[in-house]
Amino acid sequence: MSPSSPLSKKKFAELSRPQQVLVVLLAAVQLSLAVAAWADLARRPAGKINGSKLRWALTIAVNFFGPIRYFRKGRRD
């Protein structure tokens, strides 16, 4: 890719203000989901988890998909 390619990596300071706000907002949502999922995992007894707690703790670290997957598939009612 050439430096002028739309897919080239930019530094945060090179992004427009709306792009910076979007990046910060998405990062905050991702972090909030992960913290909520890890907190739930820590408090929930192992018998109410589908699979191992370690596996779910690692899965939660995967972008937006990990916490969402944990909340949908990892917990037993």
| The pLDDT of residue 7 is above 90 | no
| The pLDDT of residue 2 is above 60 | no
Higher-confidence residue of 34 and 9: namely 34
Residue 10 domain-assigned? Answer: no
| The pLDDT of residue 57 is above 80 | yes
Residue 69 domain-assigned? Answer: yes
Residue 29 domain-assigned? Answer: yes
Question: What pTM did the predictor assign?
Answer: 0.80
Give residue-wise pLDDT tens across range 9-27.
Answer: 889 999 999 999 999 999 9
The H helix count followed by the E strand count for the chain is 3, 0
Residue 22 domain-assigned? Answer: yes
Query: How many domains is the chain partitioned into structurally?
Result: 1
The amino acid at residue 22 is L
Q: What share of the chain is helix, strand, coil (3-state, %, to 5)?
A: 65, 5, 30
Structural domain of 32: 17-74
